[in-house]
A and B are shown apart, each in its own frame.
Chain A
Amino acid sequence: MKTVYLAIKYLAILLWSSFVLFPFLWAVTTSFKTANGVTGGATWIPWLQYEPSLQGWQSLFGGSGGTDITGPYFNSIIVTGSASLISIVLGTLAAYGLSRFTFKAGFIRNADITFFFISQRIMPPIVLAIPFFLLLRQLGLLDTLAGLILVYIALLLPIAVWVMVDFFNNVPRQLDEMAWLDGCTPMTTFYRVILPNSVPGLIVAGMFCLIFGWNDFFFAFTLTFTDTQLLPVAIVALNSSVTPWWSLSASALISVAPLILLAFVVERFLSRGGLAGAVR
């Protein structure tokens, strides 16, 4: 009975993983094909079924029929990384304030301020495209990394605040009170007691920020021209009248690689027990 159950379990996991891994397999094989390999129906085994070629990968780094994506790649890392970092720092501070202190402005209370942050993500992003464009032009920041970082902070901050407010609301207030009793100021309470206990929350918020920032195409596309390109825009630019499936597959793999790496690291950390109970 137990073995049957185990067999079913493994079968289910196997089915699911193949379902998840199949697109990757497709992308990997396609990235080593040429035009001939792609048109001949689905083929999987190199040398036997198709002649492998490095053309798709070469075109990503300045090879014929492609562009060099190294520049956009580093731009993406810089923009996503710094925007996420700033958002997490500001968002965490804001979230702690919203979670622990009472704010009043007319009829506005803490819950309204929190909703205001969340409402930024409810709005369809296209609404912001023209305002952002005009704002950046006024500031002379169109087509620059700094401008993109600013816009991305505006996009990522609500996520950070949202995740962290919820997280701090679940950190017992007694922890703060104990810190005050032990002689901490509100600021030292925050960074000596609350922050070290909030690493799982920070990681979740950081993950969200990095994923949203890394995958954004819309603002990267509308707010830049030629000087500053982010990875998603560069990848789309690879496309031409004859779709280069091989280089598109290669670029898809390259662009998803950092997030997969991140997922592995975070999974390791979280399973090490970063989420155990706080009080008692």
Chain B
Amino acid sequence: MADIHLESLAHSYDPAATSPEYALKPLDMTWRNGETYALLGPSGCGKSTMLNIISGLIQPSHGRVLFDGDDVTGRGTAARNIAQVFQVPVIYRSMTVRQNLAFPLVCRRRQRAEIDRRVGDVAELLGLQRVLNRPAVALTADQKQLVSLGRALVRDDVSALLLDEPLTVIDPQLKFELRRKLKEVNQAFNITMVLVTHDQNEALTFARSIIVMNHGEIVQQGDPQTLFDNPRTEHVGYFIGSPAMNFLPAAQSADALGVLDGQLQVPMTSAMRGSDDLKIAFRPEHVNLGGEGHRVDARVKRIWFEGLDQVLELDSGGTRFRARLDDWRGTVGDAIELRVMDSHLRVFRDGELLEAR
């Protein structure tokens, strides 16, 4: 268990090239002991590279990795005591489920009794008791992934548990249950957990701190609420929230910024001047049928039914946007009068959030 510090860390898979392409651009960051993190971002944005550098499977081309201030950059994977679960289940085919779960402890030369106890605990936690004596190859894909996860959880002294999209192969019902169990483990043993995912729901429900990455860079780090309310870039706005944030290109006048034929207006500030890429953005969740806010008239183009809520695609003067409503009943083609909450309007200049508004 340790604070993990990445110091001017960067990685290029071809560092000898004259202009190396970075899979991970230079960054400094700290993973606090006992915290839960979610690494969110599209495929190929450097998430897995970062995890593999922490666990030592990849040697970074630049910078250092420190565990509690101790430089481990040159140390092998085994010496770092990191548990990692990959997207694809990895099991030892020649062993039974029990032997698979016990393997990390056997490698550490633990006492027989202790191994039996811990394997029993983990099997109970993951619901694997009944298959303990079966050969691991005979399991289904999601059971195999549970075994992979079990091998990580059976160790109670790990520096961190890195989960590289481990829940992809697991069916949705079990996924929810597993996330809950992981949080339990996190609380019980104070183990740092990093979950890589491209499923924002998974990220938002699992982690206290969310890190959004894109093109090898950390775009924004914060708690779920901050990322939801104040996404730092358009990318984060698209990535967090379902459906994505509405970004509407704004028309500029002398003293105001307007969208939807001037139905939504924001006073012009000095920070907005001098750019022709200005957008007004708001969450579909911040659109209501009544109450406070700017009035917007629109026509319903599509409806997605989502249980209690409905997500509407709306058209106002040729501009499309989305709204999430819980008290509207109607059909495609209906005219609708909406309110957009003023306090939730955001202005993006050149793709980045303007803070002071």
Q: How far is the CB of A109 from chain B (nearest CB, A)?
A: 15
- CB of A278 closer than 8 Å to a CB of B: yes
Summarize A's interface: helix, strand, loop or mixed.
helix
Stretch at the interface among A86-94, A172-180, A218-226, A249-257: A172-180
Whether A272 is near chain B, meaning CB under 8 Å from some CB there, is no
Scoring B residues 52 to 79 as 1 if CB is less than 8 Å from chain A, else 0, what string do you get? 0001110000000000000000001110
Residues of chain B within 8 A of A172, CB atoms compared: 90
Interface string of A146-189 (1 = CB under 8 A from B): 00000000000000000000000000101101111111110010
Q: Report the minimal beta-carbon distance from B73 to chain A, rounded to whole angstroms.
A: 16
Name the A residues within 8 Å of B94 (CB-CB).
196-197, 199
Is A104 an interface residue when CB atoms closer than 8 A count as contact?
no
CB distance from A198 to the nearest CB of B (A): 9
With contact pairs A182-B151, A196-B94 given, residues A280 and B88 touching in the complex (Cβ less than 8 Å): yes
Asked if B31 is an interface residue, CB under 8 A from chain A, the answer is no
Q: Say yes or no: A188-B90 contact (C-beta < 8 A), given A177-B57, A180-B78, A181-B84.
A: no
Contacts of B81 in A (CB 8 A): 183
From A180, A197, A279, residue with most partner B Cβ within 10 Å:
A180
Given the complex, which residues of B lie within 8 Å of A276, measured CB to CB?
A: 93, 137
How far apart sit A188 and B104, CA to CA, in the bound complex (Å)? 12
Closest A residue to B169 by beta carbon equals: A280
Residues of B within 8 A of A183 (CB): 78, 81, 104, 107-108
- Bound-complex Cα distance A180 to B95 (A): 17
| Count of chain A residues near B, Cβ 8 A | 22
Which of B57, B82, B90 has the largest count of A CB atoms less than 10 A from its CB?
B90
CB within 8 Å for A180 and B92 given contacts A174-B86, A276-B137: no
How many B residues have CB within 8 A of the partner chain?
28
The one of A174, A179, A181, A184 that contacts B88, using a Cβ cutoff of 8 Å? A174
Give the shortest distance, in Å, between B72 (CB) and chain A (any CB).
14
A193 at the B interface (CB under 8 A) = yes
Asked if residues A279 and B78 are in contact (CB atoms below 8 Å), the reply is: no
A278 touches B103 (CB 8 A): no
With A182-B104, A182-B107, A183-B108 known as contacts, the answer to whether A197 contacts B92 (CB < 8 A) is yes
With A and B bound together, what is the CA distance between A69 and B22 in angstroms? 69
A181 touches B89 (CB 8 A): no
Cβ-defined contact, A181 with B103, below 8 A: no
- B93 near A181 with CB under 8 A, answer no
**A280 and B137 form a contact (CB under 8 A):** no
B174 within 8 A of A: no
Say if the beta carbon of B83 comes within 8 Å of chain A: yes
- Enumerate chain B residues within 8 angstroms of A196, measured Cβ to Cβ: 92-95
Q: Can you name the residue of chain A whose Cβ is closest to the Cβ of B83?
A: A181
B141 on the A face (CB < 8 A)? yes
Complex Cα gap A26–B223 (Å): 84
Q: Are A184 and B78 in touch, CB under 8 angstroms?
A: yes
Q: Are B77 and A175 in contact (CB under 8 A)?
A: no
Contact A279 B107 (CB under 8 A): no
Cα A276 to Cα B144 in complex, Å, equals 15
For residue A188, which residues in chain B have a CB less than 8 angstroms away from its CB? 107
A31 to chain B, nearest CB (A): 44
Q: Which residue of the partner chain B has the closest CB to A184?
A: B107
Q: Smallest distance from the beta carbon of A118 to chain B beta carbons, Å?
A: 28
Q: How far is the CA of A100 from the CA of B215 in the complex (A)?
A: 29
Chain A residues within 8 Å of B76, by CB: 180
| Interchain CA distance A174-B166 in the complex, whole Å | 14
- CB-based contact B107/A175 at 8 Å: no
Q: Given the complex of chains A and B, what is the CA–CA distance between A179 and B108 in angstroms?
A: 12
Contact with B along A200-235 (1 / 0, CB 8 A): 000000000000000000000000000000000000
Report chain B residues within 8 Å CB of A278.
93
In angstroms, Cα B56 to Cα A177, docked, is: 10
Contacting residues, chain B, for A181 (C-beta < 8 A): 55, 57, 77-78, 82-84
For B92, B141, B148, which residue has the most chain A Cβ atoms within 10 angstroms? B92
Contact B90 A279 (CB under 8 A): yes
Residues of A within 8 A of B78 (CB): 180-181, 183-185
CB within 8 Å of A: which B120-140 residues: 137
Picked from B83, B88, B92, the residue with its CB within 8 Å of the CB of A193 is B92
For the complex formed, measure the closest distance between the CB of A179 and the CB atoms of chain B, giving whole angstroms. 8
Given contacts A180-B57, A180-B76, are A279 and B108 in contact (CB under 8 A)?
no
Of residues A178, A193, A197, which shows the largest number of chain B Cβ atoms within 10 Å of its Cβ? A178
Q: Is the CB of A279 within 8 A of B88?
A: yes
Closest B residue, CB atoms, query A174: B90
CB of B144 within 8 A of CB of A280, answer yes
Which residues from chain A contact B56 at a C-beta distance below 8 Å?
A: 180
Q: How far is the CA of A188 from the CA of B354 in the complex (A)?
A: 55
Contacts of B91 in A (CB 8 A): 279
Judge whether A178 and B90 touch: CB under 8 Å: yes
Contacting A197 at CB < 8 Å: which of B82, B83, B88, B93? Answer: B93
Q: Are A175 and B90 in contact (CB under 8 A)?
A: yes
B141 with A280: CB separation less than 8 A = yes
* Smallest beta-carbon distance B97→chain A, Å: 15
Report chain B residues within 8 Å CB of A279.
Answer: 88-91
B207-245 CB mask vs A (1 if < 8 Å, else 0) is 000000000000000000000000000000000000000
Task: List, sorted by A's number, 18 A–B pairs whose CB atoms are closer than 8 Å.
Answer: A175-B92, A178-B84, A178-B92, A179-B92, A180-B77, A181-B77, A181-B78, A181-B83, A181-B84, A183-B81, A183-B107, A193-B92, A196-B93, A196-B94, A196-B95, A197-B92, A199-B94, A279-B91
Tell me the B residues contacting A by CB distance below 8 Å: 55-57, 76-78, 81-84, 86, 88-95, 103-104, 107-108, 137, 141, 144, 148, 151
Considering the complex of A and B, which 5 residue pairs feature the smallest CB-CB distances, nearest first?
A196-B94, A183-B107, A180-B77, A182-B104, A178-B90
List 8 additional contacts besides A174-B90, A184-B78; criterion CB under 8 Å. Answer: A175-B90, A180-B77, A181-B77, A183-B107, A183-B108, A196-B94, A276-B137, A280-B144
